[in-house]
């Protein structure tokens, strides 16, 4: 039981670190935007690992990727009510602003990084 708590604490610390670095990446002009997108996907993966601590790593990676892709494809939907939500800071951070196919590649990179990190544990 204590190992589960320790593992969850490690994931929680990693989530906080990724959020901080991801937010900083949006403030530093020379860091490409896709780095923040990859970190967002990594955060989603880490949150899923935190919640489903005993889940299969590859399965969690697939679910995380599907979630990230769903959020990205939802950006093709531009109803006024959701566009208003996207204009807020939480809306931009969670839902994004507009569909970019390159974001899908960044999500793959971020979740792949999560898999590499998990494999090294």
Cα–chain center distance at 81:
24
pLDDT at 82: 92
Average pLDDT over every residue of 43-67: 97
What are the percentages of helix, strand and coil residues in the chain, rounded to 5?
A: 80, 0, 20
Q: Taking 70 as the threshold, does the pLDDT of residue 1 lie above it?
A: no
Per residue in 68-97, pLDDT (tens digit) is 999 999 999 989 999 999 999 889 888 888
Q: Taking 90 as the threshold, does the pLDDT of residue 60 lie above it?
A: yes
d(CA 78, CA 111): 27
pLDDT band at 8 (very low <50, low <70, confident <90, very high): very high
pLDDT at 33: 83
pLDDT band at 103 (very low <50, low <70, confident <90, very high): very high
d(CA 121, CA 10): 11
Average pLDDT over every residue of 7-13: 95
Burial (CB count within 10 angstroms: exposed 0-12, middle 13-18, buried 19+), residue 81: exposed
Return the domain boundaries, the chain: 2-120
Please, what's the b/e burial string for 85-105 (b: 16 or more CB within 10 A of its CB; e: otherwise)?
Answer: ebeeeeeeeebbeeeeeebbe
């Amino acid at each position: 039981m204590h190992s589960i708590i320790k593992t969850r604490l490690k994931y929680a610390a990693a989530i906080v670190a990724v959020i901080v670095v991801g937010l900083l990446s949006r403030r530093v002009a020379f860091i490409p935007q896709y780095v923040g997108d990859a970190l967002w996907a990594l955060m989603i993966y880490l949150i899923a690992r935190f919640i489903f601590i005993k889940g299969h790593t590859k399965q969690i990676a697939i679910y995380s990727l599907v979630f990230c892709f769903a959020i990205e494809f939802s950006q093709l939907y531009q109803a006024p009510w959701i566009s208003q939500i996207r204009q807020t800071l939480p809306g931009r951070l969670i839902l994004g602003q507009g569909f970019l196919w390159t974001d899908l590649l960044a999500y793959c990179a971020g979740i792949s990084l999560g898999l590499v990190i998990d494999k090294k544990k």
